[in-house]
Amino acid sequence: MDSSIAQQSMPARLILENGLEFSGFSFGSENPVAGEVVFNTGMTGYPETFTDPSYRGQILTLTYPLLGNYGVPSDKKNMNFPANFESSRVQISGLLISDYSFQHSHWNAAQSLGDWLRTNQIPALYGIDTRQVTKVLREKGTMLGKIEIDAQTVDFYNPNLDNLVSTVSISEPHLYGKGSTRIALIDCGCKINIIRSLLQRGVQVWRVPWDYDLSKEKFDGLVISNGPGDPKMCRQTILQIRKTIASDIPVFGICLGHQLLALAAGANTYKLKYGHRSQNQPVIEVNTNRCLITSQNHGFAVDNQTLPKEWSAWFVNLNDQTNEGIRHSSGRFRSVQFHPEASPGPVDAAYLFDDFLKVVGV
């Protein structure tokens, strides 16, 4: 199907809020869209990346030049979850790439990337000078942008002014697994592999909405998931985390969950110039020689200078020295800015799930 589309691809363009325009051709859905333009330097793993709810509201630029060559796998289930994706739908608002492979080939491919994006109504452009777009975002910082196709127009939109977490969290609690230890998981836009990683370790996972009242419930540990947008929008989640800490129940935060734990502890967060989005981010554990290569996707960070007494930095990013983790002196409350569940990316940090569950008592 995509080979015929190659002959009739519509001209399209990216327009940045500073007035810069980049021309390309459409290979996805042909509706205009607006959002925050960001870039990812990962080389593989686009099915997992595009279905990560942390990308809600964002137009994603990929620095790797060729996309679509291995197509998209099927939506078959594993442990009652999508086996090949991190949520039930494509989460990015739009896609920008340099070159698109209209012919795909892979033993696990069920459809082309273009067909998948059209089914999910996600516009995508190829022929974009992604090197220049990335250079602009690195120098000027992340900015708003919009994709316009065939003279269709749309207004600029800043997703960080909305509570994006409320749009990607589940609406009702769900219980998974049959372990004797119950881990409550606050779903702020949870990647499926966080749930898989916990279930594989023999615990019961109780997944709850972002604003669920945990105060009258019984559980042995709390995990706060990843998610999109500004963490300060999630005031109800921050309140629940504070109550859990006051009850001395072990807590582990991941990505947005890391930022929320920091806010609950009394620290501050701030917006990064262009964020960290890739599967090759090096971090080092403070006061050790242990370095991990990690998968990351975030636009905000924790301010080390605002960490309260009894809290300290746990990991630091080796590229820009920003905070990558915090922990309490008791050892019962901790979080990381990166993704120990990977998917996509290296599994260097998977042991952090084991360490947390040891604190819980598993």
Topology of 2-161 in CATH? Glucose Oxidase; domain 1 (3.50.30)
Say what the pLDDT of residue 332 is.
Answer: 98
Say what the pLDDT of residue 362 is.
Answer: 85
Residue 157 has pLDDT above 60, yes or no: yes
Condensed to tens digits (0 to 9), the pLDDT of residues 291-317 reads 999 999 999 999 999 999 999 999 999
Say what the pLDDT of residue 183 is.
Answer: 98
Q: What is the mean pLDDT of residues 323-348?
A: 97
183 touches 204 (CB < 8 A): yes
Say what the pLDDT of residue 8 is.
Answer: 66
Q: Degrees (nearest 5) of the Cα angle 318, 348, 106?
A: 110
Condensed to tens digits (0 to 9), the pLDDT of residues 34-50 reads 999 999 999 999 999 99
Say what the pLDDT of residue 5 is.
Answer: 56
Say what the pLDDT of residue 2 is.
Answer: 65
**Reported confidence tier of residue 77, pLDDT bands at 50, 70, 90:** confident
Q: What's the mean per-residue pLDDT of the chain?
A: 96
Condensed to tens digits (0 to 9), the pLDDT of residues 166-186 reads 999 999 999 999 889 999 999
Condensed to tens digits (0 to 9), the pLDDT of residues 277-292 reads 999 999 999 999 999 9
The angle that helices 256-265 and 235-246 make with each other, rounded to 10 degrees, is 60
**Reported confidence tier of residue 1, pLDDT bands at 50, 70, 90:** low
Q: In the chain, list all ranges with CATH 3.40.50.880.
A: 165-360
**Reported confidence tier of residue 80, pLDDT bands at 50, 70, 90:** confident
- How far apart (Å, rounded) are the C-alpha atoms in residues 66 and 294? 23
Condensed to tens digits (0 to 9), the pLDDT of residues 207-250 reads 999 999 999 899 999 999 999 999 999 999 999 999 999 999 99
Say what the pLDDT of residue 151 is.
Answer: 86
Say what the pLDDT of residue 75 is.
Answer: 87
CA 16 to chain centre: 23
pTM of the model as a whole? 0.95
Residue 342 has pLDDT above 80, yes or no: yes
Give the phi and the psi of residue 350 in degrees, each rounded to 5.
Answer: -60, -25
Say what the pLDDT of residue 9 is.
Answer: 84
Topology of 165-360 in CATH? Rossmann fold (3.40.50)
Q: Secondary structure of the chain in the HEC alphabet?
A: CHHHHCCCCCEEEEEECCCCEEEEEECCCCCCEEEEEEEECCCCCHHHHHCCHHHCCEEEEECCCEECCCCEECCCEECCEECCCCCCCCCCCEEECCEECCCCCCCCEEECHHHHHHHCCCCEEECCCHHHHHHHHHHHCCEEEEEEECCCCCCCCCHHHCCCHHHHCCCCCEEECCCCCEEEEEECCCCHHHHHHHHCCCCEEEEEECCCCCCCCCCCEEEECCCCCCHHHCHHHHHHHHHHHHCCCCEEEECHHHHHHHHHHCCCEEEEEEEEEEEEEEEEECCCCCEEEEEEEEEEEECHHHCCCCEEEEEEECCCCCEEEEEECCCCEEEECCCCCCCCCCCCCCHHHHHHHHHHCC
Q: In the chain, list all ranges with CATH 3.50.30.20.
A: 2-161
CA 31 to chain centre: 24
Q: Which residues are catalytic?
A: 255, 339, 341
